[in-house]
Amino acid sequence: MNNLSQSLSASISEDAPNVLPKASAWNAELSLQFGRTARGSVLQRADHRGPLYVQKAFYPEGPDLAQVYLLHPPGGLVSGDRLEITVNTGADSHALLTTPGAGRVYRARPDRALQHQINTLNLSPGSSIEWLPLETILYPDACTRLDTRVNLADNAHFIGWEITSLGLPNRDLPFSDGSLSQTLQINRGERILLRERLQIDEQNRGLLQGSAGLRGKPVTGLMVAGPFDLAMDENTEHSIEPLIQQLRQHAQDCGALAAVSLTGEFLTIRYLGDQTDLAMQLFVRCWHEIRPELLGRAGCEPRIWAT
């Protein structure tokens, strides 16, 4: 499927640069509603438009938490595509979302129509979302905006990550003329708790190579987990510090630049290196440590990660 859309994208950019029919842009939407019932966390609604859907929820760790695979058969975004994913969790329901393969943002057409993905996660009180997609690969000269917004109610928890490959390092193709605006924002009510952005365009292309920026590394990753109740830090028995120590050890052992910090109520883990699989490996290890502390459950990896 990925090869198909790859070749489709190639023929689009090479053969018919200016006169593409509107139909070539795939606007897809998916809206999921999870709710807590007597049977556990149930996927109550899944509405979709365009090639973006889920099949059914899996329950490898019992009825309390639904694992769902987001399927996007085109495999990536071409110019003008817009992908909109909305996930709502009802009170006390728990969902884990992942993807079966890498997301791709292909080389832009000459019109450079935006390749836009919008993820909105709305969490009711007492619920949790784990947003654990595989990496997003940005082809050279892609023109994209990737927005993820997490809206937390009180006592709702979020673990998520973004792994981004700038260009195709395995094929020695750098991000060159591409542009990217990537935002992860977490709100609670009207208050902004965390905003993380990566913007690469004509004005700041220097950060790709810069010593303070991406240091010439093609793969960048960010994992965020929280909120942690920092009042508990007053009580040394429940301090978050031992967890941070463990995460730092994983960061140190990951074979690339990586670091752990606590910003406000959120743990952040960063990766900067050459390989998306190393970033994934680091984040999965950290996820195993964080999950029991934040969500009170042991790590149970989605089966699709093993394939």
Partner 1 sequence: MAAITTTDTALLRLMQLSSVSLPIGGYAFSQGLEYAIEAGWIKRSDQVAQWLEQQLLYSVAQTDLPILKRTMEAMAQQDHVALLRCNDLALACRETRELRLTDSAMGEAMNRLLVSLGLPQPLPTSGELSYVVLFGIAAQNWQIDYAVAALGFLWSWLENQVAAATKLVPLGQTQAQQLLVELQPLLPQAISRAASVEEDDIGNGLQGLAIASAGHETQYSRLFRS
Interface with partner 1 (CB under 8 A): 181, 183, 185-186, 191-199, 203-204, 206-207, 210-215, 220, 248, 257-264, 268, 270, 272
Neighbours of 47 (CB within 10 A): 11
Cα 160 from Cα 81, distance rounded (Å): 24
Q: Closest approach of Cβ 135 to partner 1, in Å?
A: 15
Q: Closest approach of Cβ 145 to partner 1, in Å?
A: 10
Amino acid at 166: L
**What backbone phi and psi angles, to 5 degrees, belong to 270?**
-115, 145
Q: Closest approach of Cβ 151 to partner 1, in Å?
A: 14
Does residue 227 have a cis peptide bond before it, meaning omega lies within 30 degrees of 0? yes
CA distances from 127 to 63, 91, 147, 155, 192 (A): 14, 5, 22, 7, 19
Among candidate residues 149, 154, 219, the one with its CA nearest the CA of residue 188: 154
3-state secondary structure 150-200: EEECCCCEEEEEEEEEECEHHHCECCCCCEEEEEEEEEECCEEEEEEEEEE
When the beta carbons of 256 and 304 are compared against partner 1, the nearer one is 256
Q: Closest approach of Cβ 244 to partner 1, in Å?
A: 9
Q: Closest approach of Cβ 268 to partner 1, in Å?
A: 7
When the beta carbons of 42 and 258 are compared against partner 1, the nearer one is 258
Q: Regarding beta strands 179-188 and 191-200, do their DSSP bridges make them parallel or antiparallel, or are they unpaired?
A: antiparallel
When the beta carbons of 93 and 268 are compared against partner 1, the nearer one is 268
Among candidate residues 261, 249, 256, 254, the one with its CA nearest the CA of residue 272: 256
Q: Closest approach of Cβ 226 to partner 1, in Å?
A: 12
When the beta carbons of 65 and 166 are compared against partner 1, the nearer one is 166
Cα 111 from Cα 13, distance rounded (Å): 10
Amino acid at 189: G
Q: Closest approach of Cβ 58 to partner 1, in Å?
A: 34
When the beta carbons of 129 and 208 are compared against partner 1, the nearer one is 208
Among candidate residues 102, 161, 106, 159, the one with its CA nearest the CA of residue 135: 102
When the beta carbons of 215 and 297 are compared against partner 1, the nearer one is 215
When the beta carbons of 139 and 271 are compared against partner 1, the nearer one is 271
When the beta carbons of 4 and 230 are compared against partner 1, the nearer one is 230
Q: Show Cβ contacts of residue 21 under 8 Å, excluding neighbours closer than 6 positions.
A: none
Q: Closest approach of Cβ 191 to partner 1, in Å?
A: 5
